[in-house]
Amino acid sequence: MIETETRPAAATALSAPGPRPPGHPEVKPRRVGVLLLNLGTPDGTDYWSMRRYLKEFLSDRRVIDLNRIVWGFILNVIVLTKRPFSSGKAYASIWNRELDESPLRTITRGQASKLAARLADLPDVTVDWAMRYGNPPTGERLRALHAAGCDRIVLFAAYPQYAAATTATAYDKAFEALQTMRWQPAVRTAPPYHDDPVYIGALARSIRAHLATLDWEPEVVLASFHGLPRRYLDEGDPYHCQCVKTTRLLRQELGWDESRLRLTFQSRFGREEWLQPYTDATARTLAEEGVKRLAVVTPGFAADCVETLEEIGVELRHIFTGHGGESFSVVPCLNDGNAGLDVLEAAVRRELSGWAG
């Protein structure tokens, strides 16, 4: 009992700053870092910028887990010969020309800056951001936080639903950097927030607000999530289950049934079966069956990017209207608006518990 009671005083004495011996290097005040992580972006829309980005992305074994020799041949001889042109064209159509960068980079920077402002009541917290692929690199920003005195860092992958190909690889990249550090900071990895009431509520409000701006009422709304190969689900990845739960909770919050809000998956790549139903095939079928008014929401993306702005906003619109549909609209992602920041702030504050404040 006596020992237990004396521990806090002993701990305080050990952690209290004292005089340093002559020549001792400067000791920065202890801080807590928050590193907001997203997928990544090319630095430009030209062939070589796209090729560098795609090579890094598609070389990740979390993303493509095929035989390395076979996939290496396909990637370098076929994919990286042609795909940089088509991907560059897609990025060019949504590029932020004022800042000469992709919208994902613009929005992620905004999220980090605004999150830092919201956490101003925690003066020992520093917020930064990084990309898994491309710039700014995860390792660089992790080391910068550590150099600024952050001996505890929360890694926050901005993916509501967990997938090995997104959340896990984002944290993998941070762990790679940690392996090179002589003095590692303590690290927490934030879990997915697919069923967080703040997130579900923010999504529902954003949908209602967007639909209120239209002069027509959608007959169907698609909740389109990024797809994964079906076998990833069979191998134990929880992504599909979490997408299903998000959609179910969103229906409940909106008071809609399954015929009004339908779950689909986009962005499939290659020839193997991916998670179904497919977003593009569903939109085409709906149009052919006589549905004239369609809206799409993308709950798996925390920030608008080429997959939401071009693939859904341009390509899917063309598919739907080209097969008989008339009215089409895309609900913007939560991005760096107040609703999106409400979600990020709630989740980050939860992960900072015991470390800050």
Report CA torsion sign: 163, 75, 44, 308. Answer: negative
Q: Which of 243, 248, 246, 224 is nearest to 232 (CA)?
A: 243
Q: For 265, left (φ over 0), alpha (ψ -120 to 50), or beta?
A: beta
Same fold, 31-192+338-351 and 197-331: yes
**62: helix, coil or strand?**
coil
Instruction: State residue 356's pLDDT score.
Output: 84
Q: What is the pLDDT of residue 25?
A: 64
Separation of alpha carbons 75 and 24, rounded Å = 52
Q: Identify whether the C-beta of residue 302 lies closer than 8 Å to the C-beta of residue 160.
A: yes
User: pLDDT tens digit string along 41-73?
Assistant: 999 999 999 999 999 999 999 999 989 999 999
Q: Do 221 and 296 touch, CB atoms closer than 8 A?
A: yes
Q: How confident is the model at residue 193 (pLDDT cuts 50, 70, 90)?
A: very high
80-108 residues labelled b (16+ CB within 10 A) or e (exposed)? beebbeebbebbeebbeeeeebbbbbbbb
Is 334 a residue whose pLDDT tops 50?
A: yes
User: Domain 31-192+338-351 maps to which CATH number in 3.90.1010.10, 3.30.70.1140, 3.40.50.720, 3.40.50.1400?
Assistant: 3.40.50.1400
Backbone angles phi, psi at 223, to 5 degrees: -95, 100
CA atoms within 13 A on the CB side of 43: 9
Nearest Cα to 161, choosing from 189, 132, 195, 120? Answer: 195
Residue spans per domain, the chain: 31-192+338-351, 197-331
Class assignment of domain 197-331? alpha beta
For residues 232-250, give the mean pLDDT: 97
pLDDT at 24: 58
Give the pLDDT of residue 270.
81
> What interhelical angle do 239-254 and 197-212 show, nearest 10?
60
- What is the DSSP annotation of 129-174? EEEEEESSBHHHHHHHHHHTTEEEEEEEE--SS--IIIIIHHHHHH
| pLDDT in the model for residue 256 | 98
Cis ω before 277 (30° cut-off from 0): yes
Whether pLDDT at 311 is above 70? yes
Choose among 134, 191, 140: nearest CA to 168: 191
> Span 300-304, mean pLDDT?
98
> What mean pLDDT comes out for the span 281-298?
98
* pLDDT higher than threshold 50 for residue 315: yes
Model confidence pLDDT, tens digit, residues 117-176: 999 999 999 999 999 999 999 999 999 999 999 999 999 999 999 999 999 999 999 999
